[in-house]
Structure 1
Amino acid sequence: MNAFPSRPEEAEREEMARLLPVPAERDLPPGRHLHHKGILMQQIRHDQQNSPADTADRRGRRFLRPVILVPVAAMAAAGILITSLAMGGHGPSAPSADRSVSVQAGNAGGARALLDRIATVASRQDVTPVREDQFVYVLSEVAGTEPTEQRADGGPAELGAVHERRIWLSQDPGPKGSDSGMIREDGTQLGMAAPSPAGGDGAGGVPAGIDRPTYQWLASLPTDPDALLKKLYADTGSQGTGGRDQAVFDKIGELLRESVMPPGTAAALYNAVAKIPGVVEVPDAVDAAGRHGVGIAREDTSLSQRSEWIFDKTSLSYLGQRSYLTQDTKQGKAGTLTSISAVLARAVVDKAGQEAGGASG
């Protein structure tokens, strides 16, 4: 058989092509552009940084404050990935270029109204309970503050590169349940084993509770905001230098991070936050994926640092979080970012390493 077409065949094809209508161009939705760009940028960072020396160096770095990932108000039904977080109409993902923000005035009255709206949205979600033999999987983009060579005793630091973080959190309530979880971050895979908390039985691990909020534990919390806040103050105590109010605000952020919870619990938590003194609304906030939203924030005055949760202005779904300096300090000038994150996907899966489509690695 001749591998090359004859002249008549070529002419016939050209004529058919001329007569056929031009196919309509199809563009990707904005959210998919963001998704594919994120994958490309992650591969570029991986190729640039994946030398043995660099990997060893990164393992030794520590954030000044842990990057916390707060879940969306619109929770995922069990086993279903939330992809609606990559909202259309937001800017492209290029957060690593922005290392400072404008310190805006907060509005306490606005925070109460906004949290009431967020709680209403959360209360209306249809959430399938998560079984104790399952895992909560979250894919995020995160960055935290990394020490510089000149840093000493709280001195200058700079925001590290934004990178992907995947985490699988076991829902097993027992102390050893946490050991079966897993984290993949910045080219490194980590287990979740942890020593016993103070006063533990020495068996190792962390049981379900305020420091490891499983779905079932969250479901056991009071749904009355006053009763819930009273329990949180009692369980949290005074931690750090920011006082009890800041400690509870941060603890609620930890309870919300990388989790799926019953709608009633989520609504109660947001209504409880509205009762904490010093909580304010910030009119414009940007997450690690470059998405603009509105912030719910509180300042740790002892550190001159504001912690901020970011919600979409229309849907009130959770986008991410950031923290930054509100005044000039040894760490940097006012507005310097100290951490930033964006939740890109969330699912409930049957084993660690499994992603939303069922594949595991």
Structure 2
Amino acid sequence: MIRTPRRRREEPLDHAELARLLPAPGDPELSSDRLNGLEEHLMTEIRNRTSDTSPGASTGAPPAGAHAGDRAPRPARRPGRRPVLVGAAAALVLAAAGVAGLAGGSGGSSGSGGSASSGRAVAPPAGAVPAPVVQVVRGSTAGLAGAVADISGAAARAELPEPGPGQFLYVRSEVSWMVTWDGADGKNESYVEKLHPREVWMSPDGDKGWLIEAGERAGGEGGITLDDPGDLEPSLNGPSYDYLRTLPTDPGLLLKKIYDETGGMGSGPDQQAFSTIGDLLREQVVPPKLAAGLYRAAARIPGVVLVDDSVDAVGRHGVAIARTDEVDGARTEWIFDRETYTYLGERTVQTRDAEGIEAGTVRGRTAVTDRAVVDAVKQRPAGLGDAPPSA
């Protein structure tokens, strides 16, 4: 038997020779949706592995649960864009944690009953249903300018309550985001969460908040705190209402600031700018003039089109301002009422076969059903009932 001579311990490591023998390191470029999905899956695995280490705790398989990801927003200090783990760093951390499956789209989960040795789930994630498939309606720049003028005009005229000291901004949505499951036959099946409510309370300064959303990632029925630990400053990726009031309302200045502060993120500067504006609008009570400026800024981003018909998570039809991510083919659509031009919600549709997801698959959908100002955290507007007591 020929044995490889063992290197003497005191012999210095030849880094140049090692680098020559090994393949060059890659530089992966993942879409923001994929990065958000990876980070969400990691956080779910960490919570499942650390949630109960006391004697007598259950040692069974952790419950399956799916996010944001994007996008579905995971619990965060503020209801803005989630921080993400970047590229290879995310993959290394996931590998170290022993994650068996990776999530796709805006949120993800490993399937219950998966095998760590095979890396393949044997059943769809708990509570997931097959992703809906729709006909992809082509978008066009024809009519975009007129629609944006109507939408921004309606936003500027909106009569939104101004939060006072001690009050909280309240947003309620119906949401559903994609999870992926590698079937036993090796085929990548697309599943989504069942449509469910998501409620967020945030103080105007962003220091206090609460999130209630079905599923393990949001703490179950009682919800989880969004209180600021005091170590983060408001930003485009983590805004508070008070921060939004400081932003310029001129669309040109707004767009420049967004490009300057989000450069290098996501799958490209144009897509990242569009995603950032969408994140600012999705789960916030935005000052009217700023909302109008954001819509006008979005219309200036290359690749933005008007879609004549889109449907939000509760079935309301409307027109949409949309943009397709060139990397993964996912088109994000902001949906507006045809008559009042108010914001209804958001839908993400796969425009081409990619990453094992068929064209027409609805990767995520939301519908904003209430925006209000309330006097206390976990207080709901009149007619919505009381929130459960704090956990």
Q: After superposition, where does 1:174-185 map in structure 2 within 5 Å?
A: 177=207, 180-185=208-213
> Do structure 1's residue 285 and structure 2's residue 310 form an aligned pair?
yes
Q: Which one of the candidate residues 58, 69, 72 is aligned to 1:67?
A: 72
Q: 1:98 to 1:320 in 2, by over 3 A?
A: same
Amino acid at match of 1:186: A
Query: What are the Cα deviations for residues 136-163 of structure 1, in whole angstroms up to 9, with x where unaligned?
Result: 1111111000121439999543122111
Q: 1:263 to 1:204 in 2, by over 3 A?
A: closer
Question: Are the aligned partners of 1:68 and 1:253 in contact in 2 as well (CA < 8 Å)?
Answer: no
Between stretches 259-268 and 186-195, larger displacement belongs to: 186-195
Q: Which one of the candidate residues 174, 177, 180 is aligned to 1:141?
A: 174
Query: What are the Cα deviations for residues 217-250 of structure 1, in whole angstroms up to 9, with x where unaligned?
Result: 1111111111111111111112122x10100100
Q: Which residue of 2 aligns with 1:207?
A: 233
Larger relative CO (CA 8 A, sep 6+): 1 or 2? 1
Query: How far is 1:172 from its partner?
Result: 2.2
The 2-side partners of 1:352 and 1:55 are apart by 34
TM-score (norm 1): 0.68
TM-score (norm 2): 0.63
Q: 1:127 to 1:97 in 2, by over 3 A?
A: same
Tell me, what secondary structure is at the counterpart of 1:206? Answer: coil
Question: Are the aligned partners of 1:68 and 1:321 in contact in 2 as well (CA < 8 Å)?
Answer: no
Q: Which residue of 2 aligns with 1:57?
A: 63
Q: Which residue of 1 aligns with 2:359?
A: 334
Q: After superposition, where does 1:263-278 map in structure 2 within 5 Å?
A: 263-278=288-303
Query: How far is 1:348 from its partner?
Result: 1.0
Tell me, what secondary structure is at the counterpart of 1:57? Answer: coil
Between stretches 203-212 and 144-153, larger displacement belongs to: 144-153
Q: After superposition, where does 1:83-94 map in structure 2 within 5 Å?
A: none
More helix by share: 1
Q: Which residue of 2 aligns with 1:306?
A: 331
Question: Are the aligned partners of 2:67 and 2:73 in contact in 1 as well (CA < 8 Å)?
Answer: no
Q: Which residue of 2 aligns with 1:41?
A: none
Query: How far is 1:351 from its partner?
Result: 2.1
Amino acid at match of 1:106: G
Q: 1:330 to 1:152 in 2, by over 3 A?
A: farther
The 2-side partners of 1:359 and 1:221 are apart by 34
The 2-side partners of 1:183 and 1:55 are apart by 26
Tell me, what secondary structure is at the counterpart of 2:344? Answer: strand
The 2-side partners of 1:57 and 1:324 are apart by 28
Q: Which residue of 2 aligns with 1:168?
A: 201
Number of corresponding residues: 271
The 1-side partners of 2:60 and 2:360 are apart by 29
The 2-side partners of 1:319 and 1:276 are apart by 21
Identify unmatched segments of 5+ residues in structure 1: 1-51, 72-95, 196-202
- CA-based RMSD: 3.1
